[in-house]
Amino acid sequence: MSSYFTDLAQQYIDGEWRPGTGSWDIIDFNPYNGEKLASITIATVDEVDEAYQAAARAQKQWAATNPYARRAVFEKALRVIEEREQEITEVIIAELGGTRLKAGFELHLAKEFLREAIHLALRPEGKIIPSAVDGKENRVYRVPVGVVGVISPFNFPFLLSIKSVAPALALGNGVVLKPHQNTPICGGSLVAKILEDAGLPAGLLNVVITDIAEIGDAFLEHPIPKVISFTGSDKVGRHVGTVCASHFKRSVLELGGNSALVVLDDADIDYAVDAAVFSRFVHQGQVCMAANRVLVDRSVADEFTEKFVAKVRTLKAGDPSDPQTVIGPVINSSQADALSATVEQAIAEGATALVHGTTTDNLVEPSVLTGLPADSPLLRQEIFGPVVFLAPFDGEAEAVRLVNDTPYGLSGAVHTGNIERGVNFAKQIDTGMFHVNDGTVHDEPIVPFGGEKNSGLGRLNGETMLDSFTTMKWISVQHGRSGFPF
């Protein structure tokens, strides 16, 4: 595993592995034990430019390549991941603090999205559309946008980089990828190495490991990329979208959430408890779809709360490399401090801590809070960690109001003994995704993934990748002679 952190601690530009030319280094730490994994000299504005120029040069020939030949690269990349699955698992555990369960979950989905990219290479179809003009043929072609800039987050960096990079490439584009500073290997150079070894032509995928303190908005403002695909916080996403709009670029924004899991009065309580615990605490709650809020009908609240608290108390926090560990570290000390402050703020506002976890370095134990005042801003914001708010409600109408009372609209779930009751409930929620009798954390390669309100713009996965990473071009052909009024 250590070779990944030495060999891949570089920029990858125009098919070459090389150090950045910046004046400082990004240090890659293991968030559990503080071990220094890698030191990477950052990329400058000049290297961002070189990466985009390389992608633009390589893209024209790639777009003209037979899509069956493009498809073969992703078939090989899938085999490469399968051959190196154990090593990649160890890298995810070390760099993210992800548990073994989480690493397996991320790798499984990454492979599924690569399988979809294999099919996506053959998906673009043109149309011939009727014309009101005699003898005119209207052809509509679906063509690559050219070059796509991808910015990936720290929580599922391997998956969420592949999720945009592979489809963009499969559809004939070039890509420049900027991973999060806390996960430069999993989210950046590891993806490049896999695709390089799978035979992707040089220059098509470039990875720049850098920081906005060095490059400012150069990654967004560069004239070459026509689309920026960003996954991260709504605060940064708002800035990305604003800059893109001012430069006439398309932005695909997959942002934060404040999902609720709702337990109606006819729910299977034991099953709802299992779904709620997973939905909040998978990967320490560092998931945009995680259930920040668990809303329970007052008639079953006591039973649910007792069982929920009991299950949360069984979750083992500690070393993520231990197969028994469920709660590993959060990504860095600022996240850990913010979570501790959130718990203390909730208690100061009058909440009761049914479980009050301690924080040691980056290891934040679960906290379960109830009795938070209805007007607390904590109920409306994203909590990116193992802290959950329980709240009772009286009847479905109040539940719908509470679920929607947030600026976010990404995911959610409802539990009920009546499927159609659940579907009718889901239709009233302002989210891009909602699940009946399941958890809040789901992603599948062919369903439209994305949010409403502050949770983003656009969709990813399946057919929606065509809308994100290709554009339409109308070419008309006049058979015979056209008439003109003068």
> How far out from the chain centre does Cα 456 lie?
11
Q: Could you write out the DSSP letters of every residue in 375-407?
A: T-GGGTS---SSEEEEEEESSHHHHHHHHH-SS
Q: % helix / strand / coil in the chain, to the nearest 5? A: 40, 20, 35
Beta bridge partners of 262: 295, 414
Give the Cα-Cα-Cα angle 79, 181, 243 (nearest 5 degrees): 105
* Residue 469 contacts residue 128 (beta carbons within 8 Å): no
Nearest to 206 by CA among 51, 312, 10, 397: 51
Q: With 0-12 CB in 10 A as exposed, 13-18 as middle and 19+ as buried, what is 430?
A: middle
Q: CB within 8 A of 407, min separation 6: which ones?
A: 234, 258, 380, 453, 454
288 catalytic? Reply is yes
Catalytic residue, from 50, 186, 288, 365: name it.
288
Closest CA to 481 of 132, 140, 136, 128: 136
96 three-class SS: helix
**To the nearest 10°, the Cα dihedral for 237, 241, 247, 248?**
140
d(CA 344, CA 11) in angstroms, rounded, equals 41
Residue from 254, 365, 382, 396 carrying the catalytic annotation: 254
Which DSSP letter does residue 127 get?
Answer: E
Cα–Cα dist 38/61, whole Å: 35
DSSP per-residue string spanning 292-319: EEEEEEGGGHHHHHHHHHHHHHTPPBS-
Rounded Cα distance between 390 and 207, Å, is: 42
Residues in the chain, total? 486
254 is catalytic: yes
- Token look-up 């500073």 returns 181
Task: Please give the positions annotated as active site.
Answer: 254, 288
